[in-house]
């Protein structure tokens, strides 16, 4: 098997058709390229896929452009509640956290859950207590809550809607959930996803992101998948695992499997969202049913690419 590496990251799905006319496009392109190149440095020197997807998602969480970590959207009570998960394709170890606040990098907490090994998913107060035990950095809510997010919540409430971060109920919305998938030089796969959820969602709501097989999945025998979109629809279709099954048991290449997964999402539950996928040979693919998917990739160590629509 080739010792080349591949990396894909996404910054969420949603309605971005007007983005090309706005100043924000360059910011997204720049951010995606910088993060891809940082990830490339680590994969090129032989770092493990699991470490690199955690690293890339940490960088995405720290960038307020995206709906994860620092830029998380607000729930109906005006609070930040975050979900994150990651999975190692070599041995199916996984770690996830749901409905957490204060933790600067939810993906780092998910990694600690994975490393600890006793549990796969921790939530709420228990997860926060575990974060303190792990001595992870905690932040005051001011770190997470930006004026733009307060305005976005007001607009969603005024429209009586629960929305994806990118949905255009007001012109300022062009941000999203984040994820990364990688194939390292040892031939291993990993996937990670992190989110602040949906704008104006019910407090205590958990989406697809921290649910293994729905918003994230990795198995060396099939592929690594990270999803973004309306979580309830990804939960009902167990979409990440469904795509992996298409690869493993129906023998589809990743491009066909990603498209077939999104078709299934649309046909069965009229789902809205997108996925990024890498298989064991390092082939990259993405598909979406929304107008836009912010996404970047490096296939087999080649030049970095980025799409915003």
Active-site residue list: 177
Residue bearing tokens 């060396």: 220
Q: Is 81 in the site for ligand ASP (CB under 6 A)?
A: no
Number of residues forming the site for ligand ASP (CB under 6 A): 17
The span from the CA of 7 to the CA of 48, in Å, is 12
The span from the CA of 201 to the CA of 76, in Å, is 5
Residue bearing tokens 């704008």: 199
| Helix, strand, coil abundance in the chain, percent, nearest 5 | 35, 25, 40
The span from the CA of 268 to the CA of 270, in Å, is 6
The span from the CA of 115 to the CA of 131, in Å, is 13
Q: For ligand ASP, which residue of 63, 208, 219, 299 counts as binding (CB under 6 A)?
A: 208
Q: How far is CA 262 from CA 20, 67, 190, 288, in A?
A: 25, 22, 21, 6
Q: Is 292 in the site for ligand ASP (CB under 6 A)?
A: no
Site string for ligand ASP, 83-122 (x = CB under 6 A): ----------------------------------------
Q: Is 207 in the site for ligand ASP (CB under 6 A)?
A: yes
The span of 55-63, 154-162, 206-214, 243-251 binding ligand ASP (CB under 6 A) equals 206-214
Q: Fill in the DSSP letter of residue 209.
A: T
Neighbours of 251 (CB within 10 A): 9
How far apart are CB 134 and ligand ASP at their closest, in Å? 24
Q: Is 177 in the site for ligand ASP (CB under 6 A)?
A: yes
Q: Is 210 in the site for ligand ASP (CB under 6 A)?
A: no
At residue 99, the 3 state secondary structure works out as strand
The span of 203-211, 238-246, 255-263, 295-303 binding ligand ASP (CB under 6 A) equals 203-211
How far apart are CB 191 and ligand ASP at their closest, in Å? 14
Task: Quote the tokens at residue 151.
Answer: 């305005």
Q: Is 152 in the site for ligand ASP (CB under 6 A)?
A: no
Q: Is 128 in the site for ligand ASP (CB under 6 A)?
A: no
Residues near ligand ASP, by CB under 6 A: 12, 67, 164-165, 176-177, 195, 197-198, 207-209, 215, 228-231
């Amino acid at each position: 098997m080739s010792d080349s590496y591949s990396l894909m990251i996404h910054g969420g799905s949603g309605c971005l058709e007007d983005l090309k006319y706005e100043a924000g496009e360059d910011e997204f392109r720049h951010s995606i390229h910088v993060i891809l190149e940082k990830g490339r440095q680590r994969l090129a020197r032989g770092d493990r896929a699991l470490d690199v997807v955690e690293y890339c998602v940490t960088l995405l969480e720290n960038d307020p452009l995206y709906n994860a970590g620092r830029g998380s959207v607000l729930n109906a009570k005006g609070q930040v509640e975050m979900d994150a998960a990651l999975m190692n394709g070599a041995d199916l170890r996984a770690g996830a956290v749901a409905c957490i606040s204060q933790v600067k990098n939810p993906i780092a907490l998910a990694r600690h859950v994975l490393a600890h090994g006793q549990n796969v998913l921790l939530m709420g107060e228990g997860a926060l207590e575990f974060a303190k035990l792990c001595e992870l950095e905690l932040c005051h809510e001011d770190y997470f809550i930006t004026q733009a997010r307060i305005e976005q919540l007001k607009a969603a409430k005024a429209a009586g809607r629960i929305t994806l971060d990118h949905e255009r109920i007001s012109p300022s919305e062009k941000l999203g959930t984040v994820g990364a998938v990688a194939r390292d030089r040892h031939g291993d796969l990993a996937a990670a996803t992190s989110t602040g959820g949906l704008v104006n969602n019910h407090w205590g709501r958990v989406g697809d992101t921290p649910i293994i097989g729905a918003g994230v999945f990795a198995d060396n025998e099939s592929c690594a998948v990270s999803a973004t979109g309306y979580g309830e629809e990804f939960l009902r279709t167990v979409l990440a695992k469904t795509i992996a099954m298409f690869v493993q048991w129906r023998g589809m290449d990743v491009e066909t499997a990603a498209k077939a997964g999104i078709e299934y999402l649309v046909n069965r539950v009229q789902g809205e969202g997108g996925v990024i996928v890498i298989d064991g040979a390092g082939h990259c693919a993405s598909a979406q049913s929304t107008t836009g998917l912010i996404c970047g990739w490096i296939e087999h160590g080649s030049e970095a690419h980025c799409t915003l629509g």
